[in-house]
């Protein structure tokens, strides 16, 4: 797994500044007052910092933005990154600053002089989240990673506040590793193995194989994988950190390691992006990892359906009718609408087996959600306003875009089939909504439920606030926050 940046907190020792290797970062408030660390940098650079701070450019700098002085005289460091940070900086500005520092530093050592600025742990979180590169398949060995030292007035407090944030960052790194992995590497078997390894963190991990899935009657899930040589699996990860006997939150993820579309084959252009079609399962895995790392006081069960959607002589055909674990029959009109076939069985199993207090599923489910919301927001569908609003608030606090979409009987009616209980597609109109309606048919009465369509946000072609191009880890932080707000005992 891509490791987190080694990051430590220490008291400010101004004599270390002159000889620090790599980069030195210093916080300056928008009024341009220099604190002890900044004054030392200024002295060593013979007034260069003060000149920068008095410049027109700095007077227009936004909170959290970083201006760089390259190869400063008087310091061994290759650059000084000057962070514009109000003393009362909010979480967003502090994270933004951290992300900018991480981006600038590459693999160099970094010494951050944070003095008595607030939000030191949030700066650290910004660094940890943005400091990610996926290098599993680069043949050139990357230079050994530099380390990050943050000097501040209360290092123990900052360290304590940063610990759960680092757990979230590590979870997001895992999600990104999984989502970035090519499908010949992240096979269904390899995916299950990576999840099983998390039992070392105290998670209870169980892998259900095809024989078990057959006995359980998970035929809609199995029909998706039947054209692939890779065996379908369901992996169940349990974190029992809450009160014994309390009903868990269930997280359910779509884990299609590659989606060719099956017999309803996708066009060739861009098909390579379908390595990310296990994004929902990737987020579930990342959240479970974070919960274990921060020893969350909550009962959460993560379930992922891992399959590969391939065309072959024994692939499921358009027109086939399949009986789901629930017992409802589905006419498969389009084998490319496979995610819902995987999820419906895993959701049903989750409810039968764990009687969850609430259920949230995540899936790169529809291209239509990208048409609707682009790459800024995931689509949020829910049968429960309280749970939904709590999630939207958590997502907003974490800067992860989320936008509620409608559900309703008229959309559900579009799924009527002439020969079976339902079809697996509704038609061109409202494709993301009819997909959500399909899933809702598998939500039991009284179970508060959210469906997150993350097709637009799981992996993107441009960097985002806290992630480089590629897999984002969207949702790991929001779900952690929702869990700590709603499901965690104090």
Q: List active site positions.
A: 266, 340
336 touches ligand BES (CB under 6 A): yes
Going by C-alpha positions, the residue among 260, 283, 329 that lies closest to residue 483 is 283
- Point out the residue whose Cβ comes nearest to Mn ion: 336
Q: Which of residues 445-484 bind ligand BES (CB under 6 A)?
A: 455
- Which positions lie near Zn ion, rule CB under 5 A? 256, 259, 277, 339
Considering beta carbons, is residue 258 or 442 the nearer one to Zn ion? 258
Q: Are 432 and 406 in contact (CB under 8 A)?
A: no
Alpha helices in 185-235 (DSSP H): 188-196, 210-216, 219-225
Rounded Cα gap, residues 360 and 355, in angstroms: 13
Contacts of 474 (CB under 8 A, 6+ apart): 283, 378, 400, 454, 457, 458
366 binds, among Mn ion, ligand BES, Zn ion, none (CB under 5 to 8 A by kind): ligand BES
Beta strands, E only, 260-342: 299-309, 321-323, 329-331
Considering beta carbons, is residue 131 or 338 the nearer one to Zn ion? 338
Considering beta carbons, is residue 131 or 336 the nearer one to ligand BES? 336
Going by C-alpha positions, the residue among 329, 330, 331 that lies closest to residue 318 is 331
Rounded Cα gap, residues 319 and 175, in angstroms: 35
453 touches Mn ion (CB under 5 A): no
DSSP sequence for 381-416: EES-HHHHHHHHHHHHHTT--EEE----HHHHHTT-
Going by C-alpha positions, the residue among 91, 88, 84, 38 that lies closest to residue 63 is 84
170 touches Mn ion (CB under 5 A): no
Alpha helices in 45-187 (DSSP H): 48-53, 56-59, 91-105, 120-130, 155-180
367 touches ligand BES (CB under 6 A): yes
User: 81, 308, 336, 398: which one contacts Mn ion (CB under 5 A)?
Assistant: 336
368 touches ligand BES (CB under 6 A): yes
364 touches ligand BES (CB under 6 A): yes
Which tokens is 434 given? 């009819």
Q: How far is CA 192 from CA 64, 104, 215, 276, in A?
A: 40, 36, 20, 16
48 burial via Cβ count (<10 Å: 0-12, 13-18, 19+): middle
- Closest approach of ligand BES to the CB of residue 335, in Å: 8
User: 262, 339, 448, 475: which one contacts ligand BES (CB under 6 A)?
Assistant: 339
- Closest approach of ligand BES to the CB of residue 230, in Å: 17
User: 104, 190, 334, 417: which one contacts ligand BES (CB under 6 A)?
Assistant: 334
Considering beta carbons, is residue 370 or 486 the nearer one to ligand BES? 370
412 binds, among Mn ion, ligand BES, Zn ion, none (CB under 5 to 8 A by kind): none
366 touches ligand BES (CB under 6 A): yes
Walk across the sheet containing 148-152 and list its strands.
7-10, 148-152, 110-115, 23-28, 79-84, 66-70
- Closest approach of Mn ion to the CB of residue 220, in Å: 14
259 touches Mn ion (CB under 5 A): yes
User: 259, 331, 398, 400: which one contacts ligand BES (CB under 6 A)?
Assistant: 259
User: 262, 431, 468, 475: which one contacts ligand BES (CB under 6 A)?
Assistant: 431
81 touches Mn ion (CB under 5 A): no
- Under the rule (CB under 5 A), what is the footprint of Mn ion? 259, 336, 338
- Under the rule (CB under 6 A), what is the footprint of ligand BES? 259, 277, 334, 336-339, 364-368, 425, 431, 455
């Amino acid at each position: 797994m891509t490791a987190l940046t080694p990051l430590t907190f220490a008291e400010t020792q101004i004599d270390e500044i002159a000889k620090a290797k790599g980069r030195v970062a210093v916080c300056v408030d928008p009024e341009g007052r220099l604190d002890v660390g900044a004054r030392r940098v200024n002295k060593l650079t013979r007034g260069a910092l003060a000149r920068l701070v008095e410049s027109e450019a700095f007077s227009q700098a936004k909170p959290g933005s970083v201006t760089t002085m390259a190869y400063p005289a008087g310091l061994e460091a290759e650059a000084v990154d000057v962070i514009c940070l109000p003393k009362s900086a909010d979480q967003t500005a502090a994270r933004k600053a951290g992300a900018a520092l991480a981006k600038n530093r590459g693999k160099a050592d970094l010494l951050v002089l944070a003095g008595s600025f607030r939000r030191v742990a949030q700066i650290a979180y910004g660094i940890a989240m943005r400091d990610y590169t996926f290098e599993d398949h680069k043949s050139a060995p990357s230079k050994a990673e530099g380390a990050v030292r943050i000097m501040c007035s209360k290092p123990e407090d900052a360290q304590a506040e940063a610990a759960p944030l680092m757990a979230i960052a590590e979870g997001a790194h895992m999600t990104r590793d999984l989502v970035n992995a090519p499908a010949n590497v992240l096979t269904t078997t390899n995916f299950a193995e990576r999840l099983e390894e998390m039992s070392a963190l105290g998670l209870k991990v169980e892998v259900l194989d095809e024989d078990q899935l057959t006995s359980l009657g998970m035929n809609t899930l199995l029909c998706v994988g039947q054209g692939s040589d890779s065996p379908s699996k369901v992996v169940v990860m349990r974190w029992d950190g809450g009160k014994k006997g309390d009903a868990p939150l269930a997280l359910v993820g779509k884990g299609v390691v590659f989606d060719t579309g099956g017999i309803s084959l996708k066009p060739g252009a861009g098909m390579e992006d379908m390595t990310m079609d296990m994004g929902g399962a990737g987020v579930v895995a990342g959240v479970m990892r974070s919960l274990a790392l921060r020893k969350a006081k909550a009962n959460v069960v993560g379930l992922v359906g891992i399959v590969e959607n391939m065309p072959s002589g024994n692939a499921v055909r358009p027109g086939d009718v399949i009986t789901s674990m629930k017992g409802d029959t589905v006419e498969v009109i389009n084998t490319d609408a496979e995610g819902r076939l995987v999820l419906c069985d895993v959701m049903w199993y989750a409810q039968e087996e764990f009687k969850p207090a609430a259920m949230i599923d995540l899936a790169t489910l529809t291209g239509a959600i990208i048409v609707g919301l682009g790459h800024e927001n995931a689509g949020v569908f829910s049968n429960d306003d309280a749970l939904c609003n709590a999630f939207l608030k958590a997502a907003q606090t974490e800067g992860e875009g989320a936008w509620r979409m409608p559900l309703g009987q008229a959309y559900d009616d579009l799924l009527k089939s002439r020969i079976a209980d339902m079809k697996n597609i509704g038609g061109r109109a409202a494709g993301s909504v009819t997909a959500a309606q399909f899933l809702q048919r598998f939500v039991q009465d009284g179970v508060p439920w959210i469906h997150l369509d993350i097709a637009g946000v799981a992996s993107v072609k441009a960097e985002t606030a806290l992630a480089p191009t590629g897999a984002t880890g969207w949702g790991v932080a929001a779900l952690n926050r929702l869990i700590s707000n709603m499901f965690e005992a104090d």
